[in-house]
Amino acid sequence: MLFLQKISIMIFIILFSGGIFLTSSELIRAQETIDSGKRFRARELGIIIGNYPTGKYNAITDVAGVKVGHVTLISGSGKLVPGKGPVRTGVTAILPHGGNIWQEKVPAGGYILNGCGEMTGFIWMEESGYIETPILLTNTLNVGTVMDGVIDYMIKTVPEVGISDDTVNPIVAECDDSTLNDIQGRHVTQEMVLKAIESASDGPVEEGCVGGGTGMICYEFKGGIGTSSRVLPEKEGSYTAGVLVMANQGRRRDLIIKGLPVGKEITDLLSASRKGYGSIIIVVATDAPLTSRQLNRISKRASLGLARTGTTANNGSGEIILSFSTAYKIPHYPEEFTCDVKILSDTHINPLFEAVEEATEEAVINALCAATTMKGRDDNIVYTLPLDRVKMIMKKYGLQ
């Protein structure tokens, strides 16, 4: 096993030492050479979370119009040279719809469970009740550059921004990937931000060590991007809720999967430790017609789904949640003084709360299941969640 691990690490170095810019399919193939076996999503392992069915892709993109794009950066190996590498980072873009988000804003709300983190644009979102830019996820020290990239995109889309039109407050959220990445190097460029936005698509969403999740760590296993969705039955509105997470949180001992103490059962594979408790960004999308106030409430429920995986929201962690609805658009400069909008009654919102909690829990587990072992700066290694052992634990507790 040790021999195979050394071989896989050599393959990793050969593939990535030249600063190669990998396509999504190439990245997946390269990562599979590092891992000891094929990766599966939670449901493929028999981990069925909650009561409601998923959408077609079991992803945030099951909410019609929502798109996701990643740019992934993996290069270099060995000793950290600040500003040079090794690089294990990236950027993820979430588009609420395929139109002009500036001209057709969407209602939004949010919740900060613990605020040791950053999401730019959050103040204006809370004040206005809507979002008007794509949502970008990246590493902590790259927030400024990614903001510049979003501004470039907005000016390209609406040339009047900052001249004859309003200025823009981009939404950029972060987690710290410095255990594996040369975070001082700020390797995500404005051009990469544009690429992530412009290449965003609907359909299946890549998970694990991709985009903003490339260098992230979750419950001291390799973490990253995860997603899931739920669809309510007709009698409860037929609404869809989708969740995408950038999972970088938690201590090993706290990890719970489907109610089982997986973190206490798997106590090895702890090669690289990080400072603090880490953070997570959660983005919720739904086609249910909700107000900003209701989307604030939805965001709070996502934190309950996160808690089911074991997160305790420590003083030094950051759990930031943003929710939006695609059910109606808010015009940038409406001609009419008023507008008519149908809103879901609070009396009937409980099934949606439950759906968001389920999708959040599963999105975190999917991030763990999809991620693969990664060797980063200073030869720090973060191991993948061993899926074969997870199945053994489920069998031990009578769940398989």
CA distance 115 to 108: 19
Rounded to whole angstroms, how far apart are CA atoms 126 and 3?
53
Q: Which residues of 81-103 are buried (b: 16+ CB within 10 A; e: fewer)?
A: eeeebbbbbbbbbbbbbeeebbe
Is 319 tagged catalytic? yes
The DSSP code sequence of 314-367 is: -TT-EEEEEEEE-SS-EESS-SSS--------GGG-HHHHHHHHHHHHHHHHHH
Q: Which tokens is 3 given?
A: 């021999």
- Between the alpha carbon of residue 79 and those of residues 172, 213, 227, 241, 375, the distances in Å are 29, 22, 33, 43, 11
Question: Can you state the percent helix, strand and coil of the chain, rounding each to 5?
Answer: 35, 25, 40
- Catalytic residue, from 75, 178, 229, 279: name it: 279
Residue closest to 71 by CA, chosen among 246, 193, 250:
193
At a CB cut-off of 8 Å and minimum separation 6, what does 192 contact? 71, 73, 90, 91, 149
Strands 67-75 and 87-95: antiparallel
Rounded Cα–Cα distance for residues 189 and 192 (Å): 5
DSSP three-state, residue 63: coil
Could you tell me if 370 and 208 are in contact, meaning their C-beta atoms sit under 8 angstroms apart?
yes
How many angstroms from the chain centroid is the CA of residue 16?
Answer: 23
Among candidate residues 244, 306, 204, the one with its CA nearest the CA of residue 96: 244
Q: Which of 75, 178, 229, 317 is catalytic?
A: 317
Distance of CA 189 to the CA centre of its chain: 19
Which two tokens mark 172? 């950029």
* Peptide bond before residue 134 is cis, with ω within 30 degrees of 0: no
Q: Is 317 a catalytic residue?
A: yes
Catalytic residues: 279, 317, 319
